Amino acid sequence: MANTLLLKATKTKPKSLNLTNKGLERIPALLGRIVSLQTVSFKNNQLEDLCDEIAELRQLTFVNVGNNKLKDIPQQLRHLPKLQSLHIFGNEILQLNSTTLGSLHNLTLLNLNDNALRSLPSDISRLKRLQTLSLDRNQLVSLPQEIGQLGELRELHVADNHLTSVPDSIGQLKNLSKLYLRKNQISHLSSAIEGCFKLSVLDVSVNRLVTLPSEIKTLPLSELYTEANRLLREKPVVSEQVEEVFLLKELAARLVLKHLKDRSFQMNFALLSRDGGGNLRQTLALAKKCAVCGELFLNTWLECVQFVDAKKKFRLMNNPGIIPLRILLCSYKCFNADGHEFYGVSSL
């Protein structure tokens, strides 16, 4: 039947071809003669590979090979210069061939849902035009730092995996508007997320989060999902404070960071970095800002929480209720200052 359809297609020069649910174990070589095709679908078949002749279809922009038996992205797709959308969900992919993946330069959408991926190759960074990356229901335990190089990415779907964290490079995704991390094992969400200043939808439900970074207050969120986490609840208890003693490294770092506000010192500091002070610069780049006094400090001296009504605070369409935001203070002196609503975290 497939041969009959393809034979007719060679005469009519169609732009699209749908061979869904045809029980195909292989694609007839006749396909290569229909060079007018722009979209093809081989969804819901028994394919373990694609025919070499598909490389002749140089006008293809859309390929759907979902729900087959593919073990990797077919290498034949490397020869399709106009390919923009690739649906390869529901296959048997354990890992991705870097060479094939990295050659799909014009992809704007890649759907790898429902496979068995444990990791992504660093060559994912070569998909510079990618706008939607969907990896739901795989076995990913981490995301590569290189994912931050996908500068055009709008949507990232990584729900129902085994992630324990998200790389700080996520903050480099300036165009990201939707981030779905539902049903993972994430216990800490990096403050670097503040770099995603177009983020409107954030789903971190069904994870192991205790607090959320206060930096999400700067994001234009319209939807925030946090249910089924281990979020702290406000239960005040009396605590004893041990007098703080700062290490020399911390004292020196705070002094340097304070002087960095002076422009001339910044200029000298930049010169120091070029002359071998790179390690110092990297260390000081880890500085945090105290939520009370506004001064910079190197180490997290006191981690607190602020309980906010998420719907009111972010003007959300949904209602996550009261959520705890992670707040960093430089000292007990600031913690004891009047005029703030920050709570210390008890281990009880």
Is 306 a domain residue?
yes
Give how many domains the chain has, as a whole number: 2
Query: Could you give the CA distance from residue 103 to residue 126 in angstroms, rounded to a whole number?
Result: 8
Share of the chain above pLDDT 90, in %: 65
- 222-272: pLDDT as tens digits: 999 999 999 998 665 444 455 555 555 555 555 555 655 554 444 444 544
Q: Report the pLDDT value the prediction gives residue 154, as an integer from 0 to 100.
A: 98
By CB atoms closer than 10 A (0-12, 13-18, 19+), residue 242 is exposed
Could you tell me the CATH number of the domain that includes residue 54?
Answer: 3.80.10.10
Domain co-membership, 212 together with 240: no
In tens, the pLDDT along 27-47 reads 988 888 889 999 999 999 999
131 lies in a domain?
Answer: yes
Q: 200 vs 155, 173, 180, 227, CA distance in Å?
A: 10, 13, 11, 18
Q: Could you tell me whether strands 39-41 and 16-18 are parallel, antiparallel, or unpaired per DSSP bridges?
A: parallel
Per-residue pLDDT, 32: 87
Question: Do residues 50 and 133 both lie within one domain?
Answer: yes
Residues 244, 219: one domain?
A: no
Strand ranges across the sheet with 16-18: 16-18, 39-41, 62-64, 85-87, 109-111, 132-134, 155-157, 178-180, 201-203, 223-225
Nearest to residue 190, comparing CAs of 202, 178, 175, 206?
A: 202
| Residue 231 maps to a domain | no
In the predicted model, what is the mean pLDDT of the chain? 86
Q: Report yes or no on 60 lying in a domain.
A: yes
Token pair, residue 285, equals 């780049």
**CA angle in degrees (0–180, nearest 5) for 316-318-324:** 70
Q: Are residues 300 and 203 in the same domain?
A: no
Give the mean pLDDT of 132-159. Answer: 97
Do 139 and 176 lie in a common domain?
yes
At 254, which amino acid appears? R
Lowest mean pLDDT, pick from 12-21, 42-51, 120-129, 233-242: 233-242
Q: Which residues in 84-103 are b (16+ Cβ under 10 Å) and which e?
A: bbbbbbbbebeebbeebbbb
Whether 230 maps to a domain, the answer reads no
For the residues 329-337, what does the mean pLDDT come to?
84
Boundary (domain end) residue, out of 205, 225, 245: 225
Residue 88 pLDDT more than 90? yes
Considering only residues 162 and 8, tell me which one the structure prediction assigns the higher pLDDT: 162
Q: Determine contact, residues 64/90, Cβ cutoff 8 Å.
A: no
Q: Are residues 115 and 192 in the same domain?
A: yes
Examine the domain organization and report whether 59 and 186 are in the same domain.
yes
pLDDT at 346 over 80: no
Shared domain for 146 and 178, answered yes or no, is: yes
- Comparing 335 with 164, the larger pLDDT belongs to 164
The β-bridge relationship of strands 322-329 and 296-297 is: unpaired
Q: Is 96 helix (H, G, I), strand (E, B) or coil?
A: coil
Residue with tokens 């390690």: 279
Q: In terms of residue numbers, what domain contains 203?
A: 2-225
Which of 160, 195, 225 lies at the terminal end of a domain, its last residue?
225
Q: Please give the Cα distance from 164 to 50 (Å, whole number).
A: 35
How far apart CA 276 and CA 283 sit, in angstroms, is: 13
The answer to whether residue 199 scores a pLDDT higher than 90 is yes
Model confidence at 277: pLDDT above 60: no
For residues 109 and 245, state if they share a domain.
Answer: no
What is the C-alpha to C-alpha distance for residues 160 and 185, in angstroms, rounded to an integer? 9
Could you give the count of Cα atoms lying within 13 Å of 343 in the half-sphere of its Cβ? Answer: 17
pLDDT of res. 240: 47
Helix (H, G, I), strand (E, B) or coil at 141: coil
What are the structure tokens assigned to 115, written together? 């496979």
Q: In this model, does residue 210 exceed pLDDT 50?
A: yes
| More confident position, 18 or 345 | 18
* pLDDT given for residue 264 in this prediction: 44
| Domain end (from 181, 197, 225) | 225
pLDDT(7) > 90: no
In this structure, the strands spanning 62-64 and 39-41 are parallel
